[in-house]
A and B are shown apart, each in its own frame.
Chain A
Amino acid sequence: QVQLVQSGAEVKKPGASVKVSCKASGYTFTGYYVHWLRQAPGQGLEWMGWINPNSGGTNYAQKFQGRVTMTRDTSISTAYMELSRLRSDDTAVYYCARDRIFGVVTPNWFDPWGQGTLVTVSS
C-alpha cells in the first residue's frame, strides 16, 4: 500500500537548521508531486511548498522563500525538507503528503500524508 514514513522528532536551537525526510513506498516515487505542510501546536494547516520528484523542480510558498529547500533522492524514494534560520514560531508538526494524481502538470490534492515530524525550536 502507499505509505510515507517520516523521520523522527527533532529539537533545535533558534538559528539552526532542520532537515526532515519522507520515505515513499508502494508507488512510483517519480510520478507524483510531494508537498510539505506544517501545523503549529493547536493551530491549523499551512502549505510550505512542493517538489516534483521526477525533475527536481520546486515551488515554495512566499512565506518560506529563502529559508526552505526541498530536495529528493530518487534512488531511495525519499523527499527532504530543510528549513533554516529556525525561530520559536517554527515549532510545529511537519508533514509530507503525496499528490493525489499520477503525472499531473498542476499539483492537485494531498493524499496520503506522512505521519508527521515534530520539530521543536527552543533555546
Chain B
Amino acid sequence: EIVLTQSPATLSLSPGERATLSCRASQDVSSYLAWYQQKPGQAPRLLIYDASNRATGIPARFSGSGSGTDFTLTISSLEPEDFAVYYCQQRSNRFTFGQGTRLEIK
C-alpha cells in the first residue's frame, strides 16, 4: 500500500498569508495525486487533480505542484473560508489518503 505523509499536521496562519502544505508518497506515484478540502460537517471537495490541475470552480489562489514522491499545495493568499482540513490522495495504486493537514486561523 502506498502511504502518504502530510506535513505539517497543523498550520496556523492569518488571512492574507501564504500557505504551503506538503504530501510525501512512500513510492513514486507519478502525477497521480489530488488534493481535497474538508470543512467541519461537510463532505470533502476536490481542489486539485493530477498534481497541478484545478478542479472546476476552484479559485486561482489554489495551486498544486510536484511529481514522483513530493507534492505541494499552495494557497497564495488565505481567505477566511480556506481554513479547513486538507487531504492528499493518490490513485497510482488503488486509492489512499494522507492523514490530513489542519489549517487554522492564527
Chain A residues in the interface with B (C-beta under 8 A): 35, 44-47, 61, 95, 97, 100, 107-116
B95 touches A47 (CB 8 A): yes
Interfacial residues, chain B to chain A (CB-CB below 8 A): 34, 36, 43-46, 49, 55, 87, 89, 91, 94-100
Complex: A54 Cα to B17 Cα, angstroms: 46
Contact A110 B87 (CB under 8 A): no
Closest to A107 in B: B91
With a cutoff of 8 Å between Cβ atoms, the chain A residues found around residue B94 in the complex are 47, 61
Q: Verify B43–A95 contact, CB threshold 8 A.
A: yes
Given contacts A109-B34, A115-B43, 11 further A-B contacts (CB under 8 A): A45-B87, A45-B89, A61-B95, A95-B43, A97-B43, A108-B91, A110-B36, A111-B46, A111-B49, A111-B55, A112-B46
Q: Lowest 6 A-B CB distances belong to which pairs? A: A113-B43, A47-B95, A111-B46, A45-B97, A109-B49, A44-B99
Separation of A114 and B12 alpha carbons in the complex (Å): 29
A93 nearest CB neighbor, chain B only: B43
Closest Cβ of chain B: how far from A17's Cβ, in Å?
24
Q: Flag if B97 contacts A47 (CB, 8 Å).
A: yes
B46 touches A45 (CB 8 A): no
Q: How far is the CA of A107 from the CA of B96 in the complex (A)?
A: 13
Q: Which chain A residue has the least Cβ–Cβ distance from B99?
A: A44
A109 to B45, CA, bound (A): 11
Q: Are A113 and B45 closer than 8 Å at their CB atoms?
A: yes
Cβ–Cβ contact B91 & A44, under 8 A: no
CA distance A112 to B88 in the complex (A): 16
Contact status B96-A109, CB under 8 Å? no
Residues of A close to B99: CB separation below 8 A = 44
User: Which of A46, A100, A113 touches B97 (beta carbons < 8 Å)?
Assistant: A46
Verify A44–B49 contact, CB threshold 8 A: no
Q: Which residues of the partner chain A approach B45 to less than 8 Å between Cβ atoms?
A: 111-113
Q: By the criterion CB–CB under 8 Å, are A114 and B34 in contact?
A: no
- A114/B100 contact (C-beta < 8 A), A45-B87, A100-B49 known: no
